[in-house]
Structure 1
């Protein structure tokens, strides 16, 4: 039962025993999944971590693959690149006494990605999946003024939406405001959330507190990842971590954001949760991705859709 004392996201997962918390958009998105997995594990749930990977997974040996398009990354996995967030996180998990496997999905179209998810569901006996996006572009339905960088998120959403044997499927976004860097209008994000609330698909929002055990471990993991990946540190999680420590305004920590004006603020450290079914129900082009096999096809479908769609006129915050 949902009450003010219970967070609806975890209420929705109350009967789940084996949960996959997966980064939907690639890169460091799995770090946004980490606090949720830690909270679930503390509650006695078997929580597993996964991520859509930007790393050259094809360089891994055959023994590191569960099946085509999903690799099993552990602290013992060899370095395939200076940029390998899944292995960096696996090493951090081991040092902190946590189960240290991170499953890595290759960048593909929806059909092979769904097959990879299906294999993982069967191998792990999953009864719930939580997709986590660092930023808000997974909440875009297609008719907004700007979509951010939607391709990986939409491939993940479509793949998971089509799974028939997983009773609970949720989407969580953390890093509100960060995708302004990629052209997202966050008034439109709020409009989308309002529509999902009207549909009964919005599970509310909650902060990741600095003082919580999950918050402390997250900050440590992000700092570790920044040290391990100095050339391409995570812009998203750097800002979220800064927001958690009280930073506000145009704060930069990497040359990657030089020339842009940032607005680090406490909303960045909030999770927004919705159901997969609700998000799909409002989506404008997700069905067009269904038959994609390659990641390039996903990009082309989105590009073609955007040429014809009537875009909603963006508004500024009124206050």
Structure 2
């Protein structure tokens, strides 16, 4: 009972890419996993779908087409740069301080970028990480959250041939602001369990080394970008610290009522291909080149259907 399906799936993995699916600070949600896997002797690399202006980077920052190599000293004219903030934190910890970054593009170029990076690094496993749980939405829910980047990443990695492909979500509840009904998140997880694709849940604890380092990394990111701290990771960090309710940690949430709670510190893990097969529109975005094409396809699909009505927690 103490061995999880996730740990069993990753046992034989040697070189693992932990990648943020939804852009922004999503890679931070994968940091505790990356640290824990590294402590197990795995070779672990970090990557992220970036919201930063990667086109402003010097040519020396590019490993390959659509694959940037971000380090502590990478120069950029963009003040919003979570990947560099993380690289600086890693460097301060004496850890490998490279974070790979993909531009915000459609499925075809994103898959090609992943393939190039995998080829360069010899990766055999990808753990795609979502800060929040809207990557678990299949398309007919009451609300999808912010699906464009998550679905582009899911579709891109789904088309790759690797030993293991996993999706891990951290931050249950944070997507309520964007219309996600979390009863439907649980309903989707139950369906994935029936399909044999659910790999279990586990808590991120501040009493563990990865948990403590995660809290430090989130605090460091806030100091790097004080005007735009991550609401998602700030909420998760508050939950990991044991805070509860309408916790204030940034002016960005002014006017909103937060519900910080222990469920936000839970990881949910699923088989990536199993999740992709349950999507009702993933095939439609397969040939997209631009992110706005992904958005247009999703919007068109939503216009065709009658979404499942939201449900309230019964207890």
After TM superposition, the score normalised by the length of structure 2 is 0.99
The answer to whether the 8 A contact 1:112-1:293 is kept is yes
8 Å CA contact retained: 1:210, 1:244: yes
Q: CA deviation at 1:263?
A: 0.4
How far apart are the structure 2 equivalents of 1:250 and 1:66? 43
Q: Deviations over 1:105-164 (max 9, x none)?
A: 000000000000000110000100000000011000000000000100000000000012
Query: Which residue pairs with 2:187 in the alignment?
Result: 191
Partner of 1:274: 270
Contact 1:55–1:80 at 8 Å: present in 2 too? no
- Superposition misfits of 4+ residues, deviation over 4 angstroms: none
Do the aligned partners of 1:57 and 1:80 also contact (CA within 8 Å) in 2?
Answer: no
SS in 2 for 1:19: strand
**Could you give the per-residue CA deviations for residues 47-72 of structure 1, whole angstroms, max 9, x where no partner exists?**
00000000000000111111121100
Other-structure match for 1:98: 95
Cα distance between partner residues in 2 of 1:229 and 1:7: 36
* Secondary structure in structure 2 of the residue aligned to 1:317: coil
- Tell me by how many angstroms 1:310 deviates: 2.1
| Residue of structure 1 equivalent to 2:47 | 50
- Residue 160 (structure 2) pairs with residue 157 (structure 1): no
Corresponding residue SS for 1:263: coil
Q: Aligned to 1:211, which of 165, 184, 207?
A: 207
C-alpha separation in 1, matches of 2:91 and 2:254: 34
Query: Does the 8 Å contact 1:68/1:116 carry over to 2?
Result: yes
Q: How far apart in 2 are the matches of 1:233 and 1:81?
A: 15
Find 2:302's aligned residue among 296, 301, 306.
306
CA distance in 2, matches of 1:294, 1:147: 20
Q: How far apart are 1:261 and its partner, in Å?
A: 1.3
2:239 corresponds to: 243
Question: What does 1:112-151 correspond to in 2, within 5 Å?
Answer: 112-151=109-148
2-structure distance, mates of 1:248, 1:60: 40
Question: In structure 2, how many angstroms separate the alpha carbons of the residues matched to 1:157 and 1:91?
Answer: 28
The alpha carbon displacement at 1:79 in A equals 3.2
Cα offset, 1:253, TM superposition:
1.3
Which residues of structure 2 form unaligned runs of 5+?
none
TM-score, structure 1 as length reference: 0.98
Q: Is the 8 A contact 1:21 1:129 kept in 2?
A: yes
Instruction: Measure, in 2, the Cα distance between the counterparts of 1:317 and 1:276.
Output: 27
Choose the corresponding residue for 2:28, options 10, 31, 47.
Answer: 31
- Confirm or deny that 1:107 pairs with 2:101: no
Tell me how far 1:174 sits from its aligned partner: 0.3
What's the Cα RMSD here?
0.7
CA deviations on 1:270-294 (whole Å, 9 max, x unpaired) are 1000001110111100000000001
- 1:261 to 2:246 alignment: no
Q: 1:167 Cα shift?
A: 1.5
Any stretches of 5+ residues in structure 1 without a counterpart? none
Q: What is the CA-CA distance between 1:7 and the residue it aligns to?
A: 2.6
Across the two proteins, how many residue pairs are aligned to each other?
Answer: 315
1:224 correspondence with 2:220 = yes
**Residue by residue, what CA displacement relative to the aligned partner does 1:34-53 show, whole Å, maximum 9, x if unpaired?**
11110011000000000000
Shift of 1:185: 0.2
Q: Any idea what SS the aligned residue of 1:133 has? A: strand
Distance in 1 separating the partners of 2:15 and 2:184:
34
